[in-house]
Structure 1
Amino acid sequence: MSFLDEIQKYAPEELLSRIEAKSGSDVERALLSERLRIDDFMALLSPAAAPFIEQMAVKAHKVTRQRFGNNILLYAPLYLSNLCTNGCLYCGFNAANKVARQTLTFDEVEREARVLHERGFRHILLVTGEAPKAVDNEYLAEAAQRIRHLFSSIAIEVYPMDEAGYSRMVEAGVDGLTIYQETYDQKLYAEMHPFGRKRDYAFRLLAPERGGAAGLRRIGIGALLGLGHFRVEGFYTGLHALYLSRHFWRSHLSVSFPRMRPAEGGFSPLNPVSDREFVQLICALRLLLPDAGLVMSTRESATLRDNLLPLGITQMSAGSCTSPGGYAGEEESTRQFNIDDDRTAEEVEQMIRSKGYEAVWKDWDRAFLDKSAPYSDCDVAL
């Protein structure tokens, strides 16, 4: 049974009604639980939890410090290409947008990578649009192989692959996968993706399972906040995370909270998520998933990121650029979206330290792997 079978047990409209029916006593019971049940998680996502957000935040902070100490891992995205054949209505890379496009040569990839290496990064995320003729598995494998000596960890946030494709990425030195479902609501998903290969809801939904089966050490998921209702998307994200943690326990799981930002095309959020709702979602997911990494990107403002740090965040991007070639030279191609926190990596590191946390540039090395057992128990992140 795949997660597709699991998610079909919860219809979006019925799910929202169940969540909104939770009471204050349901929330209090959830806050007293050591391990949340599904009904407890619904309660923490419900409107009834609004008066309890401060208590949720205190408990989320305590759980995170117990599991992760005071470490915050820093990473940076490296955009390889903004070519795309998909019609995602909310994305600056939408194939219908008449914008500047660029795919980096391997020399340009290495130049970008060296800039990030010199800034201290040892964890990077390779990002592309979906353009099979220009950027295929072999292009990604070659790009990863060219720069793997510079980084201890390379993850990808690209189009979904089959299991063989993910196995090829592992061979090339990729150890992590980030893939957002965008929206778990299948009807809304079809509306948001009118054309392109990304229109295949099920193939994208099951990509993390194929990545786990291929031996990727880290798997990251999330929903694009601002499309579906945040309570529904939050529930599905938690349900997905629980499924993956049960079935692919050797892969370290992380959850991201990408909230919609202005992008080429001018798409407006269908269901905007307020800062208070954002905090509620982060705390609820931390209490459901005490051992998962929680990721905060530069989509959010500097002030908000500073204040959200103690609530359960364990990974942050810093000094990010969301267009190809933006680190080593002038940006000439279109960004996927506009960032909000434009501080340098050094400034973010200083902020982290000022909050009493330790900025971690490297928490993994391939030397930890037993070469005779490519996917052994030592594949768990430190």
Structure 2
Amino acid sequence: MTFLDIINQYDPQQVRESIEAKTSSDVERALAAERLRPDDLQALLSPAAAGYLEEMAARANRLTLQRFGKNILMYAPLYISNLCTNGCRYCGFSASNQVPRRTLSLDEVWTEAKVLYDLGFRHILLVTGESPKAVDNDYLAACVRRIQPLFSSISIEVYPMETEGYRQMVEAGVDGLTVYQETYDRALYQEMHPFGKKRDYDFRLLTPERGGAAGLRRIGLGFLLGLGEFRSEAFFLGLHALHLSRHYWRTQVSVSFPRIRPADGGFQPLHPVSDRHFVQLLCTLRLLLPDAGLVLSTRESAALRNNLLPLGITQMSAGSCTAPGGYADKDLSTQQFAIDDDRSPEEVCRLIRASGYEAVWKDWDGAFLDHSKAV
């Protein structure tokens, strides 16, 4: 059974109504449960849980310390192209936007990577727009091979591939995949993606499973906060993460919380997510997914990131740039969106240490994979 089979069993409107109807008794029952059921997940995401946020936060903190200790893995995105053939209404890279387009050469990718390496990063996320004919698998594999000597872990956030494509990435040295469904609401998904291959809801939904089948070690999920109603979106995200964890148990599942930021095209959130709701979402997913990495990017403000640190976060980016070539030449004209937290990696690390946590630059080495093959 795929996650498509699971999600097709639910009516989105009924899910929203069920979440809204939860009571304080439902919330208390969920908080007393050793392992959350779908009904408990709905209760913790409901308006009725608003009065229990302090208890949820305390439990999320304790659970994270038990599973991860006080370690925060540092990573940075490296944008290598903003070419895109999709018409996503919310994205600065949309083919509908008249913006400068750029794809880095292998030498330019190396230059960008060296900047991040010199800043201390050993985990990076390669990001592109979705233009698989112009920026194809062979180009991506070449980029990975070129910079692999610098990094212990290389993940990708690119166009969805078939399983064989992901196997090619694994052979090149990729060990992680990030792919956001953007919204689990099929009707809203069609509205937000008027043209391009990304319009295929089913193909994108099953992308993490193709990555898991290809042997990727890390898979990151998320929805774009501000598109759909966050409570039902989070419910389906939670089910998605549980499905992957059960079927691809050798793969570590992580969850990100990308919130819509200003970008070319001027798209405004349809369902803005408040900071308080952000906290509820984060704590709920930690209670549901005790062993999942929870990722916080520079989309959020410095103040909010400081406050969210103890609530379950295990990975943070710092000093990020969303423009191809932006680290080396500082040209932001091709950026996907504007970041909010513009502190340097050093400043973020100081804050992490001041909060009693440890900034971890490396927690994995590709040599482990080679060794496992030899055994």
Q: TM-score of the superposition, structure 2-length normalised?
A: 0.99
How many residue pairs align between the two structures? 375
- Return the alpha-carbon distance in structure 1 between the equivalents of residues 308 and 183 of structure 2: 23
C-alpha displacement at 1:373, in angstroms? 2.7
Q: Counterpart in 2 of 1:247?
A: 247
Q: Counterpart in 1 of 2:289?
A: 289
Q: Counterpart in 2 of 1:327?
A: 327
Q: Deviations over 1:179-229 (max 9, x none)?
A: 000001011000000000100101100000000000000000000010000
Residue correspondence of structure 1 range 197-216 to structure 2 within 5 A: 197-216=197-216
- Return the alpha-carbon distance in structure 2 between the equivalents of residues 119 and 372 of structure 1: 30
Residue correspondence of structure 1 range 1-382 to structure 2 within 5 A: 1-331=1-331, 333-371=333-371, 373=373
- Return the alpha-carbon distance in structure 2 between the equivalents of residues 59 and 299 of structure 1: 25
- Return the alpha-carbon distance in structure 1 between the equivalents of residues 217 and 49 of structure 2: 35
Kept in 1: contact 2:261–2:339 (CA 8 A): yes
C-alpha displacement at 1:44, in angstroms? 0.2
Kept in 1: contact 2:132–2:159 (CA 8 A): no
Residue type at the aligned position of 1:359: A
* Structure 1 unaligned blocks of 5 or more: 377-382
C-alpha displacement at 1:372, in angstroms? 5.7
2:77 alignment partner, SS class: strand
State the identity as a percent. 71
Kept in 2: contact 1:318–1:343 (CA 8 A): yes
C-alpha displacement at 1:233, in angstroms? 0.6
Alpha-carbon distance change, 118 to 201 in structure 1, aligned in 2, over 3 angstroms:
same
C-alpha displacement at 1:64, in angstroms? 0.3
1:373 alignment partner, SS class: helix
Residue type at the aligned position of 1:141: A
- Return the alpha-carbon distance in structure 1 between the equivalents of residues 140 and 366 of structure 2: 19
C-alpha displacement at 1:370, in angstroms? 4.7
Kept in 2: contact 1:100–1:333 (CA 8 A): yes
State the 4+ residue runs in structure 1 displaced beyond 3 angstroms: none
- Return the alpha-carbon distance in structure 1 between the equivalents of residues 232 and 128 of structure 2: 28
* Structure 2 unaligned blocks of 5 or more: none
- Return the alpha-carbon distance in structure 1 between the equivalents of residues 34 and 332 of structure 2: 51
Kept in 2: contact 1:101–1:333 (CA 8 A): no
Residue type at the aligned position of 2:61: H
Residue type at the aligned position of 1:147: I
Q: Counterpart in 2 of 1:380?
A: none
2:291 alignment partner, SS class: coil
Residue type at the aligned position of 2:74: L
C-alpha displacement at 1:334, in angstroms? 1.7
- Return the alpha-carbon distance in structure 2 between the equivalents of residues 145 and 354 of structure 1: 37
- Return the alpha-carbon distance in structure 2 between the equivalents of residues 332 and 68 of structure 1: 35
